[in-house]
């Protein structure tokens, strides 16, 4: 009898495993998370790892995807750019993930790009960046320059009447390319060269006395002056502290930042900074039911109701939901099928509208300009009336204004030159 | 229903009490605040200022602070710090329940500028001299020709010489901004403004030099020449001050290392993390003070200094006892072990406090800046300069005048001789390392005021610290002082010319060349101990 029971169980289990067939080898769908959990960038990227875990957890509670559970594979590239490529290779070749969400700095994205193109993976990149790139294997859910920098400059020009510009940035690829685009744009708008001051500082710069002094001097020439800041990461806190202490008030010289969000402001006393600006596609203060639900979910997940939400988190929220929808549409996680299914997918964003994936692998977003408040939040003072589609090849740079990207068949090209009618090649070369 | 009636009665009563005759007109003006368009709000501010109503300054103050609220029926309320509502016009308490549709009036920079200008007009004749001076300053920055008669009336009435001077400057700015003012008046105004000798004066004179009659332009050009010379001089002085300030920060970061590396010869890569521990201690102390005695929060830093010394010092002693003492005389292993330790400490802080920056507030006595002639001196940097000099003096005293200092020097110069004189060398090693680490912790308290409090805080200072100690001469505190200050000043003098990135490279190259010529640094330690 005893023997019989065991046999029965064995037979049953055999039947189950045969019934599951091929699926038994992969009864979960693996999702890679490629964010630095140590080193300089941990300060920003750890939050994105957490938000991805939350989204995956939520999706599993809803019953998973294609009848399977999602499984997060977290790796730590430790803010080390070559390590990003190695970890990406591990995710794609060893763990065989269906999609990867990751990277923050442009240099880390550039480092993993050849890996994703070689192994035909899918990467969702959630951070605002300098554009001038479009890969078949990457979906850019952060803002392109025309979804952040250009509208911000327009706002300052029209609403604040700014005539003189300081372009202050950290010395690496994102600020340099963005400032190049902005300089070309400003000159096109008739701003003379002597009214533009460009200055770069190293990563993690902490002694801003000279720079802020120069900004004050530049701003006292009798014309309304503003600072466009692409200062990145840790350098922002000392920069804003110096601005506050040297008495640079937002009503005199406003500073608009592209890398300062709720998370960066959390380390600062914002009372002296009220009125300085930030341009993003999402603010935590947005008053929509979707956003309130998202914030409540985040606080519950992270077990700390003081934690802030920010723009790249929303980008992951949009990107993840788009991927889920595309997989459901394609009925498989096969990269080629999903990449084709992604284009045209539309999901709700957190600002009360819908974002769509476009043929150039960028998405449509509203552009918001916010002013820093005394409580560390950003309050929307202006927003675009509709959604702005991301433009990967800037219209203001020579050599890039004739290029377009369209990953639909039959064009399937990331840098199609409309003048010569030729595709520049499969992998996009950028300066 | 009853509540509504009471509300109506209250409102009516308040309105009657405040301004029986013009109530409706003013209410009409104030209704403009309900708009969500910034130009409407801007117009409303101007209209409110023009009405000269007694409640206007309070309403504008509230608007500037973001506490002005508008209800669905366009009635304005001011929200107090405790969350209570008061009627904006009468100051009477609002009904218990929040009126329907209550929302804050929208404010942006344009609106804030309009408020500033309006307050300038409204407080021109305020009984408080500080307010009158602010009013004069805002008129100076936004000169409006229409305000000339009011300013002249204010000058005639003014008794405070300082405020009178501010008004005269405002009057001069207005005259320069008036296209049809007489040349003689304009030239007098130019003289008055040039005497201010600051950037504001330059910007006004630039404007005058570009427009106006030839006589005015010539006067402005003449005044500008002198002014530019003065400004260039101040700007050079300012750069030296910036350099001293950067130097003092370098000194603070390096002075602990001058003991552990300079005196003991331990290559301590975890030195930056001792600084970081100090900064985190500051955060914890500030949070504790805020919770226990919010009134004392301005002095939390003073409590944090000994606390950080103890925390980092204890950590230093623990590290010396558990790791470093097994590695004396093996610099490579020490370097690797302490480097690993620094990563462990960083990740530990990340796990305990989270990866994000922590907010350490500047106390009020360390916020803002003062003007000393043409120098802008920010209080936080100023205190840090004084603090670093005090720490330096204290440390020199400890090394020179105390028994512990004597033993430290004895042990580092000749360990075996010291041991045979009855000094417990192991114990002295621990204390020396603890002292160096504790001083690094104190530096963390100061750095928390100007930099991020994050796990990476120490990393950004470790290279600079080694640079300072090697440049100044290993084993010499005075060398560290001179090294830090000269590196700071050299950096800041190069920065305006070469930019921050290139400036730093130039300094590094010069340093390498210098070390090539003098491998022992600025002030090499002499004697037999060095040779062994």
pTM: predicted TM-score of the whole model, two decimal places: 0.84
Using 50, 70 and 90 to split pLDDT, how confident is the model at A21? very low
The mean-pLDDT minimum among A118-132, B431-445, B515-529 falls in B515-529
CA–CA gap between residue B137 and residue B134 (Å, rounded)? 5
Write out the two tokens for A272: 């002296």
CA–CA gap between residue A28 and residue B121 (Å, rounded)? 70
Interface contact A392, partner B, CB < 8 A: no
Rank B34-38, B300-304, B527-531 by mean pLDDT and report only the highest: B300-304
| Contact flag A213-B38 (C-beta cutoff 8 Å) | no
Rank A81-90, A241-250, B108-117 by mean pLDDT and report only the highest: A81-90
Co-location of A230 and A342 in the same domain: no
Residues of chain B neighbouring A263 (CB-CB closer than 8 A) = 356
Cβ atoms of residues B356 and B453 within 8 Å:
no
Co-location of B68 and B196 in the same domain: no
pLDDT at B530 over 60: no
pLDDT at A16 over 50: no
> What's the pLDDT score for residue B22?
47
Co-location of B325 and B411 in the same domain: yes
> What's the pLDDT score for residue B491?
92
In a domain, B120, yes or no: no
Interface contact A50, partner B, CB < 8 A: no
In a domain, A295, yes or no: yes
Phi, psi of A129 (to 5 degrees): -150, -175
In a domain, B485, yes or no: no
Query: Residues in chain A, how many?
Result: 431
Co-location of A59 and A178 in the same domain: no
> What's the pLDDT score for residue A343?
94
Co-location of A257 and A385 in the same domain: yes
SS3 B489: helix
Nearest-Cα distance to chain A for B292, in Å, is: 20
Interface contact A401, partner B, CB < 8 A: no
Interface contact A160, partner B, CB < 8 A: yes
Co-location of A309 and A200 in the same domain: no
| Contact flag B109-A234 (C-beta cutoff 8 Å) | no
pLDDT at B532 over 70: no
Using 50, 70 and 90 to split pLDDT, how confident is the model at B278? very high
Q: A207: nearest CA in chain B?
A: B246
Co-location of A201 and A112 in the same domain: no
> What's the pLDDT score for residue B49?
83
Co-location of A335 and A269 in the same domain: no
In a domain, A359, yes or no: yes
A215-242 pLDDT, tens digit per residue, is 998 988 778 899 999 998 778 888 998 9
DSSP of A219-250: HTSSS-EEEEEE--GGGHHHHHHHHHHTT--T
Tell me which of B39, B107, B109 to substitute to probe the interface with A (most A C-beta atoms closer than 10 Å). B109
Residue B255 or residue B51, greater confidence:
B255
User: Can you name the residues that pair with A277 across neighbouring β-strands?
Assistant: A256, A371
A167-188 pLDDT, tens digit per residue, is 999 998 899 999 999 999 999 9
Q: B382: nearest CA in chain A?
A: A245
pLDDT at A283 over 90: yes
In a domain, A13, yes or no: no
CA–CA gap between residue B145 and residue B139 (Å, rounded)? 10
> What's the pLDDT score for residue B96?
66
Q: Which of residues 3-32 of A touch B (CB under 8 A)?
A: none
Of B112, B200, B459, nearest to A220 by CB-CB distance is B200
pLDDT at B511 over 60: yes
Average pLDDT score over chain B: 85
- Provide, for chain A, the percentages of residues in helix, strand and coil under a 3-state DSSP scheme, each rounded to the nearest 5: 40, 20, 40
Co-location of B137 and B271 in the same domain: no
| Contact flag A210-B500 (C-beta cutoff 8 Å) | yes
| Contact flag B110-A159 (C-beta cutoff 8 Å) | yes
> What's the pLDDT score for residue B2?
54
| Contact flag B501-A40 (C-beta cutoff 8 Å) | no
> What's the pLDDT score for residue B15?
46
Co-location of B269 and B411 in the same domain: yes
In a domain, A17, yes or no: no
The domain of A70 spans: 26-144+290-365
| Contact flag B203-A374 (C-beta cutoff 8 Å) | no
Co-location of A201 and A332 in the same domain: no
Which are the contacts of B231, defined by CB distance < 8 A and separation ≥ 6?
B197, B198, B199, B202, B374
The mean-pLDDT minimum among A50-59, A272-281, A314-323 falls in A272-281
Spatial CA neighbour of A253 closest among B113, B342, B344? B113
Nearest-Cα distance to chain A for B315, in Å, is: 22
Co-location of B314 and B177 in the same domain: no
Question: What ranges make up the beta strands (E) of A85-175?
Answer: 99-102, 123-125, 138-140, 164-170
CA–CA gap between residue B101 and residue B500 (Å, rounded)? 51
| Contact flag A374-B496 (C-beta cutoff 8 Å) | no
Average pLDDT score over chain A: 88
Cβ atoms of residues B314 and B434 within 8 Å:
yes
Tell me which of A41, A43, A159, A172 to substitute to probe the interface with B (most B C-beta atoms closer than 10 Å). A43
Of B106, B347, B452, nearest to A234 by CB-CB distance is B452
Half-sphere exposure of B178 (CA within 13 A, CB side): 20
Co-location of B380 and B418 in the same domain: yes
| Contact flag A38-B350 (C-beta cutoff 8 Å) | yes
B123-136 pLDDT, tens digit per residue, is 877 788 888 888 88
Spatial CA neighbour of B284 closest among B359, B175, B348, B227? B359
Sheet (strand B85-87) strand order: B85-87, B76-79, B68-70, B103-104
The mean-pLDDT minimum among A326-340, B196-210, B230-244 falls in B196-210
In a domain, A351, yes or no: yes
Look-up of token digits 């010569």:
A420
Of B350, B451, B496, nearest to A206 by CB-CB distance is B451
DSSP state of A348: E
User: What is the tally of structural domains in chain B?
Assistant: 3
Co-location of B349 and B412 in the same domain: yes
In a domain, B276, yes or no: yes
pLDDT at B489 over 70: yes
Using 50, 70 and 90 to split pLDDT, how confident is the model at A13? very low
Co-location of B358 and B390 in the same domain: yes
Using 50, 70 and 90 to split pLDDT, how confident is the model at A26? low
In a domain, A261, yes or no: yes
Nearest-Cα distance to chain B for A287, in Å, is: 13
In a domain, B241, yes or no: yes
Co-location of A191 and A280 in the same domain: yes
Mean pLDDT over residues B165-187, rounded?
84
B384 CA to centre of own chain: 11
Write out the two tokens for A156: 């300052």
In a domain, B117, yes or no: no
Interface contact A384, partner B, CB < 8 A: no
Using 50, 70 and 90 to split pLDDT, how confident is the model at A418? confident
Spatial CA neighbour of A357 closest among A366, A347, A367, A349? A347
pLDDT at B513 over 60: yes
Co-location of A122 and A217 in the same domain: no
pLDDT at B138 over 90: no
Cβ atoms of residues A36 and A103 within 8 Å:
no
- pLDDT > 90: what percent of chain B? 33
Co-location of B366 and B445 in the same domain: yes
Co-location of A139 and A150 in the same domain: no
CATH of the domain at A83: 3.40.50.2300
Of B108, B141, B501, nearest to A202 by CB-CB distance is B501
Co-location of B88 and B147 in the same domain: no
Residues of chain A neighbouring B238 (CB-CB closer than 8 A) = 213
Co-location of B324 and B466 in the same domain: yes
SS3 A2: helix
Co-location of A45 and A73 in the same domain: yes
> What's the pLDDT score for residue A19?
40
Residue A412 or residue B245, greater confidence:
B245
Spatial CA neighbour of B468 closest among B392, B411, B528, B529? B392
Of B245, B355, B500, nearest to A46 by CB-CB distance is B355
Mean pLDDT over residues B525-530, rounded?
57
In a domain, B295, yes or no: yes
Tell me which of B105, B118, B205, B357 to substitute to probe the interface with A (most A C-beta atoms closer than 10 Å). B357
DSSP state of B449: T
pLDDT at B460 over 70: yes
User: Can you name the residues that pair with A164 across neighbouring β-strands?
Assistant: A225
A296-327 pLDDT, tens digit per residue, is 999 999 998 888 999 999 999 999 999 999 99
pLDDT at B85 over 90: no
Domain boundary at B429, B455, B471, which? Answer: B471
pLDDT at A25 over 80: no
| Contact flag A42-B106 (C-beta cutoff 8 Å) | no
Co-location of B375 and B308 in the same domain: yes
Region of B74 (left: φ > 0; alpha: ψ -120 to 50; beta: rest) is: left
Q: A238: nearest CA in chain B?
A: B451
| E strand or H helix at A423 | strand A422-423
User: What is the tally of structural domains in chain A?
Assistant: 2
The mean-pLDDT minimum among A107-121, A348-362, B207-221, B347-361 falls in B207-221
Mean pLDDT over residues B468-496, rounded?
91
| Contact flag A222-B454 (C-beta cutoff 8 Å) | no
In a domain, B490, yes or no: no
Domain boundary at B212, B245, B272, which? Answer: B212
Mean pLDDT over residues A355-363, rounded?
95
The domain of B32 spans: 2-110
CA–CA gap between residue A38 and residue A222 (Å, rounded)? 46
Rank A50-64, A255-269, A381-395 by mean pLDDT and report only the highest: A50-64
Using 50, 70 and 90 to split pLDDT, how confident is the model at B222? confident
> What's the pLDDT score for residue B136?
84
- pLDDT > 70: what percent of chain B? 93
| Contact flag B350-A42 (C-beta cutoff 8 Å) | yes
Using 50, 70 and 90 to split pLDDT, how confident is the model at B95? low
Interface contact A272, partner B, CB < 8 A: yes
Alpha helices in B147-213 (DSSP H): 148-157, 161-177, 183-194, 199-210
CA–CA gap between residue A319 and residue A355 (Å, rounded)? 10
| Torsional sign, CA B123, B125, B129, B133 | positive
pLDDT at B283 over 90: yes
The mean-pLDDT minimum among A23-37, A311-325, B162-176 falls in A23-37
In a domain, B365, yes or no: yes
| Contact flag B242-A241 (C-beta cutoff 8 Å) | no
Co-location of A114 and A62 in the same domain: yes
> What's the pLDDT score for residue A265?
85
> What's the pLDDT score for residue B527?
54
pLDDT at A164 over 90: yes
Tell me which of B200, B235, B383, B450 to substitute to probe the interface with A (most A C-beta atoms closer than 10 Å). B450
The mean-pLDDT minimum among A323-332, B181-190, B279-288, B308-317 falls in B181-190
> What's the pLDDT score for residue B193?
84
Residue A299 or residue B476, greater confidence:
A299
């Amino acid at each position: 009898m005893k023997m019989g029971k065991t046999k029965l169980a064995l037979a049953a289990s055999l039947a189950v495993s045969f019934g599951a067939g091929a699926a038994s080898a992969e009864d979960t769908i693996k999702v890679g998370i490629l964010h630095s959990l140590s080193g300089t960038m941990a300060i920003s990227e750890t939050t994105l790892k957490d938000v991805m875990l939350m989204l995956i957890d939520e999706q599993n509670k809803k019953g998973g995807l294609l009848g399977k559970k999602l499984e997060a594979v977290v790796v730590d590239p430790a803010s080390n750019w070559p390590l990003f490529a190695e970890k990406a290779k591990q995710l794609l070749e060893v763990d065989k993930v269906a999609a990867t969400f990751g990277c923050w700095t442009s240099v880390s994205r550039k480092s993993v790009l050849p890996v994703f193109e070689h192994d035909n993976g899918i990467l969702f990149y959630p951070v605002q960046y300098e554009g001038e790139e479009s890969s078949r294997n990457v979906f850019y859910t952060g803002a392109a320059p025309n979804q952040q920098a250009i509208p911000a400059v327009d706002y300052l020009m029209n609403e604040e009447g700014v005539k003189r510009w300081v372009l202050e940035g950290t010395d690496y690829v994102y600020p340099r390319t963005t400032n190049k685009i902005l300089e070309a744009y400003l000159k096109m708008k008739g701003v003379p060269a002597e009214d533009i001051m460009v200055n770069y500082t190293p990563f993690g710069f902490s002694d801003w006395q000279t720079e802020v002094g120069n900004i004050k001097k530049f701003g006292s020439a009798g014309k309304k002056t503003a600072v466009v800041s692409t200062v990145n990461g840790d350098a922002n806190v000392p920069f804003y502290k110096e601005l506050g202490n040297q008495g640079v008030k937002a009503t005199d010289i406003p500073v608009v930042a592209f890398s300062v969000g709720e998370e960066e402001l959390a380390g600062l006393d914002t009372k002296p900074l009220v009125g300085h600006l930030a341009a993003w596609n999402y603010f935590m203060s947005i008053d929509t039911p979707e956003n309130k639900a998202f914030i409540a979910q985040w606080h519950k997940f992270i077990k700390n109701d003081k934690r802030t939400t920010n723009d790249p988190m929303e980008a992951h929220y949009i990107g993840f939901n788009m991927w889920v929808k595309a997989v459901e549409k394609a009925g498989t996680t096969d990269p080629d099928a999903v990449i084709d299914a992604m284009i045209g997918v539309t999901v709700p964003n957190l600002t009360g509208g819908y974002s769509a994936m476009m043929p150039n692998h960028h998405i449509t977003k509203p552009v918001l300009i916010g002013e820093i408040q005394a409580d560390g939040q950003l309050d929307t003072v202006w927003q675009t009336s509709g959604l702005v589609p991301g433009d990967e090849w800037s219209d203001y740079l020579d050599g890039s204004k004739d290029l377009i990207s369209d990953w639909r068949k039959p064009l399937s090209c990331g840098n199609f030159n409309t003048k010569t009618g030729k595709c520049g090649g499969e992998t996009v070369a950028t300066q | 229903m009853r509540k509504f009636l009471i509300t109506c009665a209250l409102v009516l009563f308040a309105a009657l009490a405040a301004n029986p005759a013009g109530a409706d007109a003013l209410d009409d003006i104030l209704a403009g605040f309900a708009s969500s368009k910034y130009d409407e709000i801007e117009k409303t501010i101007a209209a409110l200022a023009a009405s000269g109503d007694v409640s206007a300054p309070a309403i504008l103050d509230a608007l500037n602070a973001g506490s002005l609220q508008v209800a669905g029926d366009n009635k304005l309320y001011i929200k107090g710090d405790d969350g209570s509502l008061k009627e904006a016009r009468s100051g009477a308490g609002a009904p218990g329940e929040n009126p329907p549709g209550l929302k804050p009036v929208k404010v942006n920079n344009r609106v804030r500028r309009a408020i500033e200008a309006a307050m300038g007009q409204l407080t021109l004749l305020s009984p408080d001299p500080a307010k009158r001076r602010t009013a004069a300053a805002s008129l100076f920055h936004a000169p409006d020709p229409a305000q000339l008669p009011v300013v002249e009336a204010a000058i005639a009435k003014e008794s405070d010489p300082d405020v009178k001077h501010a008004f005269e400057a405002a009057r001069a700015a207005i005259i320069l901004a008036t296209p049809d003012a007489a040349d003689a008046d304009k030239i007098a105004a130019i003289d008055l403004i040039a005497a201010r000798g600051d950037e504001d004066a330059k910007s006004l004179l630039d404007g005058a030099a570009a427009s106006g009659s030839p006589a005015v332009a010539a006067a402005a050009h003449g005044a500008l020449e002198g002014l530019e010379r003065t400004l260039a001089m101040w700007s050079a002085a300012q750069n030296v001050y910036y350099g001293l300030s950067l130097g003092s920060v370098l000194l603070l970061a390096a002075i602990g290392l001058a003991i552990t590396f300079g005196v003991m010869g331990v290559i301590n890569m975890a030195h930056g993390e001792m600084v970081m521990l100090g900064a985190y201690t500051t955060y914890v102390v500030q949070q504790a003070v805020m919770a226990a005695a919010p009134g004392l929060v301005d002095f939390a830093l003073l409590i944090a200094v000994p606390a950080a010394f103890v925390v980092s010092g204890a950590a230093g002693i623990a590290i010396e006892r558990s790791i470093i003492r097994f590695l004396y005389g093996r610099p490579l292993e020490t370097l690797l072990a302490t480097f690993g330790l620094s990563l462990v400490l960083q990740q530990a802080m990340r796990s305990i406090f989270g990866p994000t920056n922590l907010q350490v507030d500047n106390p009020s006595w360390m916020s803002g800046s003062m003007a000393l002639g043409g120098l802008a001196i920010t209080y936080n940097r100023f205190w840090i300069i004084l603090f670093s000099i005090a720490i330096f003096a204290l440390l020199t005293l400890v090394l020179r005048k105390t028994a512990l200092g004597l033993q430290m020097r004895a042990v580092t110069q000749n360990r075996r001789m010291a041991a045979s004189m009855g000094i417990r060398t192991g114990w002295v090693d621990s204390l020396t390392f603890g002292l160096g680490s504790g001083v690094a912790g104190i530096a963390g308290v100061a750095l928390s005021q100007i930099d991020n409090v994050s796990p990476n805080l120490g990393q950004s200072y470790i290279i600079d610290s080694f640079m300072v100690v090697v440049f100044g001469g290993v084993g010499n505190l005075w060398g560290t002082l001179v090294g830090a200050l000269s590196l700071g000043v050299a950096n800041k003098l190069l920065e305006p010319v070469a930019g921050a990135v290139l400036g730093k490279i130039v300094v590094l190259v010069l340093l390498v060349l210098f070390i090539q010529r003098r491998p022992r640094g600025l002030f090499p330690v002499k004697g037999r101990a060095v040779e062994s």
